[in-house]
Amino acid sequence: MAQAHILIVDDDTALLQALPQAVHLRMKDVLVETADAALTALELIRNKDYDAIVSDIKMPGMDGLGLLRKIQELRPDTPTLLITGHGDHNLAIQALRGGAYDFIQKPIDRDYFVAALYRAIQTRQLRRQVAEQQRALEEHARSLEKAVQERTRELIAANAAKDEFLSMASHELKTPLSSLKGMTQLLRRKLERAGSSDVIRLVSMENSIRRMELLVNDLLNISFIEMGMFVLHKQPTDINELCRRLVDEYIVGTNPPPVVEVDLPAEKIEMAIDVDRFGQVIINLLSNARKYSSAPIRLSVRVEDEQCIISVSDDGVGIPPEVLPHIFERFYRVPGIEVQRGSSIGLGLGLYISNQIVERHGGRIDVQSTPGKGSVFSVVLPLKVASPVEDSTQVSQPS
C-alpha cells in the first residue's frame, strides 16, 4: 500500500489521541490529521484529498451524518467511516444509506478499526489507479483518433490526386491511341489490296494497340467509379439478341477465333440495361474464359425465380477456393495460374469493373470453380431492373 493520508474527526479529546496512536502502531506509511469539529474538518477536506475519513456521528453543531453529506458533495470517492455509540443501530443504518463506507461501534475494537480503515484506504487508492488509467486511456484514444483523422485526410487527398492523375493520364492516352489505331487499320487495308506481306506485322500492331486500349479503358473506368462519375444509360434491350451479337463480335475480333457455344431460350427476355456497359461485362467474362481454357467456351441464358441468369463457363484451369473471395478486388490477379491462350497483360481490374457494373444494375456475379475442371461465372439480374430513365445528375464517360 502506498503512503496514505487520513483524517479523524471527533470532539472527544481522548479518542483524538488514542486512534492516531493505534494507526501509527499498526499501519506503516499512514499520515494522520485530526479535527475536533465538523466545520474544521470541512476546511481540511476542501484543501486535501484524503484516502479515508473517520468521524464520530454524535458531535455538537454539525454531526457526523451532516459531515457525511458534505463529504459526498466535495469528495464522493473518499471512503468515510462513522463511529457510533453502542446500540445506535438506526444511526448506523442511516450512515450506510447516506454513503458511509463502514461504521465502527463504541467501545472501539482496535483490530476491527484498523482492518476497516485498511480496506477503506485500499479502496480509495484502487479507485485512484482506475481513474488514472481511464484518463490515460482516454488521452491515448484522443491521440489515436487525432492520428487516424490526420491519416484519413492524407489518404483522401492522396486518393483524390491519384484518381485525378489516372483520369487525366488515361484520357490523354486514349486520343492518340484512337488516331494510331485508325491509321494502322487504314494502312493495313492498303497493304491488303496491294498483296503486301507486311500485313501480318500490322495485324500484330493492331492487337497491341487493342490491348493498350483495354488497359486505358480500365484506368478510365476505375477513375469514374472512384470519383462517383460512373453512369448507366439504360434502355429496353433484348437480352438474347444482345448476347448473340456480343458473341459474334467477340469471335470476329479475336485471333485465332475461339469456339463459343451459345444456349439461348426460345422466349424473348427484355430488360432495361446499359448496353455498352453490360456488353463490357460479357466480353470480359468471355475473354477470361478463353485465357484460362483451351476448350470451347459456353454462354447460356436462362430465366429462374424472376431472375435472368447469363452464364459463361469453361473447362479450364479453374480457381483455387482460397482466392475466390478476392477475385473481384481492385488490381487482383490470381497467383500461380498460367494463361492458356492470348495475352497475359492486364491490371487486374476487369472483374472489379464488371462486378461494379452488375451491382449498379441491381444484380450480382456468382462464381463456381474447381481447380483443374473449369469455372462458371453467372451474371444474375432481377427481371425488373431499375427504370431506364437516365440519372441526369451524374456525369457520363467522355469519349
CA pair distance 112, 115, nearest whole angstrom: 5
CATH topology of domain 155-226: Helix Hairpins (1.10.287)
Mean pLDDT score, 149-167: 76
CATH classification for the domain delimited by 235-382, as one of 3.90.550.10, 3.40.50.150, 3.30.565.10, 1.10.10.10: 3.30.565.10
**pLDDT higher than 80, residue 384:** no
**Range(s) for CATH 3.40.50.2300 in the chain?**
4-108
* C-alpha cell at position 147: 492520428
Classify residue 269 by burial, with Cβ atoms within 10 Å: 0-12, 13-18, 19+: buried
Average pLDDT, the chain: 83
CB 103 within 8 A of CB 85: no
- Per-residue pLDDT tens for 84-140? 876 677 877 888 888 899 988 888 888 999 999 999 999 999 988 998 999 999 999
Comparing 15-29, 35-49, 324-338, the range with the smallest average pLDDT is 324-338
**Helix or strand holding residue 368 (H, E):** strand 364-370
Please tell me the predicted confidence (pLDDT) of residue 350: 83
Please tell me the predicted confidence (pLDDT) of residue 175: 73
Mean pLDDT score, 369-387: 84
Q: Which residues pair with 270 in a beta bridge?
A: 238
Give the percent of the chain with pLDDT over 70: 82
Please tell me the predicted confidence (pLDDT) of residue 339: 56
Planar angle of CA 102, 105, 110, nearest 5 degrees: 90
Comparing 42-46, 226-230, 379-383, the range with the smallest average pLDDT is 226-230
**pLDDT higher than 50, residue 393:** no
CATH topology of domain 4-108: Rossmann fold (3.40.50)
